[in-house]
Structure 1
Amino acid sequence: DEDNMTTLAGNLAYVSLLSLVPLVAVVFALFAAFPMFSDVSILLRHFIFANFLPATGDVIQRYIEQFVANSNKMTAVGACGLIVTALLLMYSIDSALNTIWRSKRARPKIYSFAVYWMILTLGPLLAGASLAISSYLLSLRWASDLNTVIDNVLRIFPLLLSWISFWLLYSIVPTIRVPNRDAIVGAFVAALLFEAGKKGFALYITMFPSYQLIYGVLAVIPILFVWVYWTWCIVLLGAEITVTLGEYRKLKQAAEQEEDDEP
């Protein structure tokens, strides 16, 4: 494990848990700033916890919403601290992915901040817009003859959203140019593993409730940590696949060039 992928995943999981409440607070504050997304923000909360957290998402949702409600009472200095903590997660993701890509080139600080802020602002807004579209499709199913088509679209919507999210992550964050087709393939593999892992993890928790027997009401803590760690393993594995595709192509081209140069 030359890139120490499991160690990177552990670091990202730790930072993610520290940044989870600040990140959610910043995202929902952005939705509050746009009245047009007031209804969508509620749908987005349910969508995130239903599709990105396994089994115990409802319990985790209650705790996080309680923490976020408490964070709304903070002063301006505390709010700035929340934003800095959320940006810390962005920096950790940036550092981990560029380690996998073995990129030594550093972005200007201003540019890095702009990229992180764009992810924090445009990401939730795009998710809200896509969720609004899916809600519109859901309303059409009762008034059209396209019920089967719309049902199929809604069924694969979480997979498509994960695929697009991973593709953007692998395309934008590295400081070197990433071939688009490599990013698409790596993102698709990561999205499939994420959806399969989500269902498998939920099945494990349901069939083997050992965490709940041992930890009781605190079982949500190790479950959340294991799931976040597993998620980052999938994200970094998709990045490794993306890098490997590019390196394989370069080696193949070099071998073909050597064959052409031989007399």
Structure 2
Amino acid sequence: METKAVKNAALQSYQLLRLVWNRALRYQVSLRAAHLTLATLLAAVPIITIVFGILRLTPAMVAMQDSLVAYVEAHLAPGSSSTVIPYLLSFSEQTKNLPAAGIATLILTALLLLNSFEGSVQAIWQIKQRRKIRERLLTYWAILTLGPIMLAVVMSLYGTLLSYQLTGNYIPSVLEGLFEFSSYVVYFLLLFTINFLTPNNEVKVKLTAISAMLGAIAIVLLNSVFANFAQFFASYQIVYGAFAALPIFLIWLQVSWLIILLTVSLNATLHKLDRYKEHSKLE
């Protein structure tokens, strides 16, 4: 009986993976990931400017900016973020000297990236009805706002844990284990937010959480691969010098977007299967 159950579970998993892969091929997920990678390069500075602008709204979050930057450098694009991110932050600081029209253009660039991502999500979900402009702007603002706030909260909790460790206070093993996987928690929350808010459809929390969980694991594995095989990129550094960080960052960005869109494809497939089950029960 157990062997049969394992075989059935393996068969169902294979069928699910095939459905997700067919959906990804049908809606050109790899091409959309490449498009979003290019759009991200254009929108990186505006998004960083908006995020840091949000963090400056409260004194508590301002104090966490340096810790947040260090956290991002440690967990995003291992092997290249320590070179690329300081440049992006420097460019972001220079936006303070822009006139109002320039700042409006930067904000528009960030919104265009989110609009492009939303278009990809709606296509993968096979949703033809687009949101009204007001609803889309509110969704974009929620994504831009919740993202940095969640990062700030994780950093705050992480700092609290560190202070407890330094003072020798007792910390429950569950909490300690959770903070050891802080990067996984951040990825999960970000993937869950964009998968839950972006589709213009009824989205279930459980199915979205499953998709976000698998996507978070994939991104953690991706970062682990980049961190462990950094020595293979040494030849790029010999030829390109500091510029070698850019192709590494681009590869990481492309694969990250591919993982994100695959989680969207998985989420859409799970919801479609769930609707079939409900329809069959009604019949």
TM norm structure 1: 0.91
Shift of 1:50: 1.4
Q: Secondary structure at the match of 1:102?
A: coil
1:208-227 to structure 2, matched below 5 A, reads 208-227=233-252
Q: 2:273 aligns to what? A: 248
1:42 paired to 2:66:
yes
CA drift of 1:35 comes to 2.2
1:95 aligns with 2:95: no
Partner of 2:134: 110
Root-mean-square deviation over aligned CA pairs: 1.9
Q: Which residues in structure 2 correspond to 1:153-232 (within 5 Å)?
A: 153-232=178-257
Q: How many residues align?
A: 258
Cα drift, residue 91 of structure 1: 0.8
Q: Secondary structure of the residue that 2:63 maps to in structure 1?
A: helix
- Structure 1 pair 243–122 and aligned structure 2 pair: CA distance change class (3 A): closer
**Whole-angstrom distance in 2 between the partners of 1:166 and 1:234:** 10
TM-score, length-scaled by structure 2: 0.85
Inter-partner Cα distance in structure 1 for 2:220 and 2:89: 24
The answer on whether the counterparts of 2:79 and 2:245 sit within 8 Å (CA) in structure 1 is no
Distance 1:242 1:79 in 2: 35
Deviation (angstroms), 1:200:
0.6
1:27-176 residue pairs with structure 2 within 5 A? Answer: 27-142=51-166, 143-146=168-171, 148-176=173-201
Q: Which runs of 5+ in 2 are unaligned?
A: 1-24
CA–CA distance in 2 between the matches of 1:52 and 1:162?
10
Percent identity, aligned pairs only, is 24
Summarize the Cα distance change of 1:144–1:71 in structure 2 as closer, same or farther, 3 Å threshold.
same
AA aligned opposite 1:108:
K
- Amino acid aligned to 1:15: A
Letter in 2 for 1:140: Y
- Aligned with 2:27: secondary structure? coil
Unaligned residue ranges in structure 1 (runs of 5+): none
1:233 aligns with 2:258: yes
Give 2:45's match in structure 1, choosing from 21, 31, 39.
21
